[in-house]
């Protein structure tokens, strides 16, 4: 079931209190809080045929896949994000825990389990590396330090520029001490054990950079997020948008899909609304862009609208990596196939940086990582909605340049050369799956591959980037804030906080607070029983 009404078939009339461009996790969060806390009538505009951004699902006969939600942390009964989701969805969204081993890391033929619970994680890693107990405990301590430092760093982004000028350096300093260092630098100071460093970096696919290039801030944010285990939305990823939409609609707002925004309207130094691709205009005193800083200042506004320091940093920090995703369907149950909800990470060796370098230089080199997820095994309602079937997602990094020759071609009509390239990726990914899960060989009922061009087509990500701006140390020095120099224009999304569903969620909370005041932050973050 898709979320949102068709733009072309809807007779939506203003006035609106706010317009949100993009219906991903951050856009829906901002819209829902403005609706619920401030009573605003909000119009959400989405270019895709369904709302949700990377939290949406898609179906084929008998099957359903989740394009971007593979697991979420901190949404258990006492999780830090559970109350936010409950506030946004009014309890309509429930969560199923992943198995106790939520991630299994393979370095060649050696495997290591990430287990639920901080103390148990430390103990399990120490069991694998008995001489490194102190280093492992120190690592977890640093991870938690970064999580604590993030509170002030992100709060600063909501403050008026006149206030942040004085308070910002103090609020940002604790986080920047960690963010300015790479993951490789931090891990090398903790331990000389190369294998342990590779295992601790085993979730690097969640932010898309090898250790020598990633900021330790993003690595620590991801690691901290999952120490309490992983969870999956019951009903699939699409249940997130379905649960939030009624909050927006109850206040007179609407979510329109297939609604392509051409530009943001500006008068006298203020954003006053948007112009659609068909020339229609919607106006509101508040415009929120949830489509990333590059899209906002490169596509929806003239580039010179961005402050000089932001323009400079956008040239320095490029887009994050692209991915290829293979969606597999099997006409047998998870139980029959022996599939569980544990994510599998396949790395060719402990040399993450070398593997990435070789692959980026040559697409035929061994994959630097292959991520395998089992959405049907994670969702207890899948078996009722799609009886006798199961699904697997297989994801691998890919350079956008490998697909750039087909830029501008139509979705599903890109020609024989493109289909041949997709077939080659499919063949190689199936080989990786069958080597790890030989019981699946010969049983694939449906196989469908998406490329970075799919992300560019549906999500307006110009180079198919999955995680917004690249999470290098320089990214954390970028002057991206909730408010902009254009009055009435606000930013939200991954670029405001960091990557992933939880970060986009918090980006939406921060933007709503920047617009409606700190009471919105308090309301969304208040612990709930």
Is residue 12, in this structure, part of any structural domain at all?
yes
- For residues 33 and 142, membership in a common domain is answered with no
Residues 6+ apart with CB under 8 A from 227: 73, 117, 118, 121, 140, 143
- Which pLDDT score is estimated for 4? 84
pLDDT tens digits, 56-92: 899 999 999 998 899 999 999 889 999 999 999 999 9
Cβ pair 319, 456 in contact under 8 A: no
Cβ pair 71, 378 in contact under 8 A: yes
- For residues 109 and 88, membership in a common domain is answered with no
- For residues 239 and 291, membership in a common domain is answered with yes
Range of the domain at 189: 99-229
Is residue 252, in this structure, part of any structural domain at all?
yes
Lowest mean pLDDT among 48-52, 127-131, 172-176: 48-52
Lowest mean pLDDT among 162-166, 296-300, 485-489, 496-500: 162-166
224 to each of 77, 104, 135, how far by Cα in Å? Answer: 17, 17, 16
Q: At 80, which CATH number?
A: 3.50.50.60
Of 229, 257, 283, the domain-final residue: 229
Q: What is the rounded CA–CA span in Å between residue 25 and residue 225? A: 17
Is residue 271, in this structure, part of any structural domain at all?
yes
- For residues 112 and 183, membership in a common domain is answered with yes
- For residues 207 and 269, membership in a common domain is answered with no
DSSP single-letter state for residue 499: S
Is residue 120, in this structure, part of any structural domain at all?
yes
Of 203, 229, 255, the domain-final residue: 229
Q: What is the pTM of this model?
A: 0.95
Is residue 272, in this structure, part of any structural domain at all?
yes
Is residue 77, in this structure, part of any structural domain at all?
yes
State how beta strands 281-283 and 270-276 pair.
antiparallel
Of 175, 203, 229, the domain-final residue: 229
pLDDT tens digits, 448-471: 999 999 888 777 778 888 899 999
pLDDT tens digits, 356-399: 999 999 999 999 999 999 999 999 999 999 999 999 999 999 99
Is residue 515, in this structure, part of any structural domain at all?
yes
């Amino acid at each position: 079931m898709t979320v949102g009404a068709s733009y072309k078939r809807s007779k939506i009339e203003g006035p609106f209190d706010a317009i949100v461009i993009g219906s991903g996790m951050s856009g829906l969060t901002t819209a829902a809080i403005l609706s619920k806390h401030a009573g605003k009538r909000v119009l959400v505009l989405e270019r895709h045929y369904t709302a949700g951004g990377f939290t949406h699902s898609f179906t084929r006969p008998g099957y359903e896949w989740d394009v971007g939600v593979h697991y979420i942390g901190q949404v258990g009964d006492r999780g830090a994000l559970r109350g936010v989701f409950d506030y946004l969805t009014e309890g309509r969204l429930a969560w199923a825990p992943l198995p106790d081993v939520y991630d299994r890391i393979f370095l060649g033929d050696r495997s290591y389990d990430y287990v639920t619970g901080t103390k148990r994680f430390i103990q399990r890693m120490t069991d694998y590396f008995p001489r490194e107990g102190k280093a492992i405990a120190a690592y977890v301590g640093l991870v938690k330090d970064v999580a604590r430092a993030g509170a002030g760093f992100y709060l600063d982004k909501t403050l008026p520029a006149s206030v942040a000028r004085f308070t910002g350096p103090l609020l940002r300093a604790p986080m920047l001490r960690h963010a300015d260092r790479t993951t490789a630098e931090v891990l090398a100071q903790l331990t000389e054990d190369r294998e342990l460093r590779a295992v601790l970096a085993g979730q690097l696919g969640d932010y898309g950079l090898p250790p020598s290039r990633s900021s330790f801030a993003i690595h620590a944010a991801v690691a901290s997020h999952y120490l309490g285990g992983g969870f999956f939305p019951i009903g699939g990823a699409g249940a997130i948008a379905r649960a939030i939409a009624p909050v927006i609609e109850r206040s007179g707002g609407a979510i329109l899909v297939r609604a392509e925004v051409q530009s943001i309207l500006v008068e006298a130094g203020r954003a006053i609304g948007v112009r659609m691709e068909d020339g229609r205009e919607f106006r509101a005193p508040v415009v929120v862009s949830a489509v990333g800083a590059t899209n906002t200042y490169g596509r929806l506004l003239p580039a010179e609208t961005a402050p000089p320091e932001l323009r400079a940093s956008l040239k320095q920090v490029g887009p994050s990596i692209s991915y290829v995703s293979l969606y597999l369907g099997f006409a047998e149950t998870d139980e029959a196939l022996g599939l569980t909800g544990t994510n599998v990470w396949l790395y060719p060796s402990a040399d993450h940086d070398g593997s990435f370098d070789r692959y980026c230089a040559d697409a035929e080199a061994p994959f630097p990582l292959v991520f395998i997820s089992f959405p049907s095994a994670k969702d207890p309602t899948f078996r009722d909605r799609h009886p006798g079937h199961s699904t697997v997602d297989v994801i691998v990094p890919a350079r956008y340049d490998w697909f750039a020759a087909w830029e501008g071609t139509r979705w599903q009509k890109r020609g024989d050369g493109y289909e041949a390239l997709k077939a080659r990726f499919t063949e190689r990914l199936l080989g990786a799956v069958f080597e790890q899960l030989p019981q699946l060989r010969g049983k694939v009922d449906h196989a469908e591959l998406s490329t970075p061009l799919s992300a560019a087509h549906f999500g307006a990500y110009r180079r198919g980037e999955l995680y917004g701006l690249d999470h290098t140390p320089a990214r954390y020095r970028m002057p991206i804030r909730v408010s902009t120099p254009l009055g009435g224009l606000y930013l939200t999304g991954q670029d405001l906080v960091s990557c992933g569903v939880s970060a986009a969620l918090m980006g939406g909370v921060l933007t709503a607070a920047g617009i409606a005041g700190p009471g919105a932050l308090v309301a969304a973050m208040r612990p709930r029983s």
